[in-house]
Structure 1
């Protein structure tokens, strides 16, 4: 399995850095680079990469509009877009996710989170940098997420711990370390939680947790 990735950022040095991080992984390959939004849309539509990493502030068309064009409502055969940016302004986070992004990662979040976001997007999941997750989920309502519904079957004590960790923005690796369980066990719990709650990904799990007071402010 190789995950084909498109990089879209107007700074060549940033693109080089992202390429270096990603291609250090045996299962990830950068297939194209774009220096502006128009080029990103054109390359993405022609090459159909598995994941598009898109900066917010780019010439000609910004990352929000690129995301809308590639993954927004009504787009046939939408692509998986992860926004990678220096800026964690609420308007950017909300805009990116509402336009179809399946991830929002800050450039200073570190290589491990970037790689995990790519793999999560490829797997049909979603990941947001922990530093913006709490603020986002306290205020953002996901129209598509049935956050008011209860589980079809009760969550186990361990599943509830995993839900709380997800709601606090923990990655799978961090959850495994905190709960002393393997990465595969974490993934199994996440899958089971999604099934019980009827949700699509970890972002919706976190939204459900905040909406239903499964987790609160520390």
Structure 2
């Protein structure tokens, strides 16, 4: 299955380089490009990508606002958003995750890591952040709210265990080994957890866990 990708970045040369790297892979395809976040929704509507590579800083509409606009306009049909940032722990990138992005990665990362990150985010199998996962989610923990509501009570005991493992950043394979389950069973549990909690993806699951003091 080919992963369809849209590139949103105001640097034409950078976009060309990323497009070249991505298009070299048989399972990845660049289907649309734009030089500003203001065009993100129209590009997504026209090309229907699975994932958007989004620059966090752009002149008219930045990546945070563009991500929020995508999620608001398209809801469950919105593609995954992977934020491209220059700094390891970028407040704007953290804001983008809060707005609905599925992760962020450094612009100068090695091509192999970029490609692996694109695949991971598209598959929704792990939390991806630019080497600063713990520091990033400490930010969300700092604004911790009350204990989780009734939605948390709908989780089974096993689902709560898996939620905590996923919130610590463990992959499906690692959770499967820890809980003595198959990876397919873990994927099913994760899907049910997201549905019951009304969350879009694993990144939002981690934010939920930190905000409600579960870890």
Match of residue 85 from structure 1: 85
List alignment gaps of at least 5 residues for structure 1.
none
> Residue 212 and residue 42 in structure 1: after superposition, are their counterparts in 2 closer, same or farther (change >3 A)?
closer
Indicate the residue corresponding to 1:104 in structure 2.
103
* 1:10-68 CA distance string (max 9 Å, x none): 25345533652465253x32102233334545433433333221011234432223223
- Equivalent positions of 1:157-168 (< 5 A) are 160=161, 162-168=162-168
Q: For structure 2, which runs of at least 5 residues remain unmatched after alignment?
A: none
| TM-score normalised by structure 2 residue count | 0.69
C-alpha RMSD over aligned residues: 3.7
**Does the C-alpha gap of structure 1 residues 13 and 68 become closer, same or farther in structure 2, counting only changes over 3 Å?**
same
Give the drift of 1:97: 2.9
Q: Is 1:20 aligned with 2:21?
A: yes
Q: For residues 192-211 of structure 1, what are the structure 2 equivalents within 5 Å?
A: 192-194=192-194, 198-200=197-199, 201-211=201-211
Normalized per residue, which structure has more helix? 2
1:116 counterpart residue number:
120
Q: TM-score, normalised by structure 1?
A: 0.68
Would you say how many aligned residue pairs link Structure 1 and Structure 2? 202
Distance of 1:41 and 1:199 partners within structure 2: 23
1:88, distance to aligned residue in structure 2 (A): 4.3
> Structure 1: how far apart are the matches of 2:155 and 2:44?
40
Q: 3-state SS of the aligned residue for 2:132?
A: helix
Query: What SS does the corresponding residue of 1:57 show, helix, strand or coil?
Result: coil
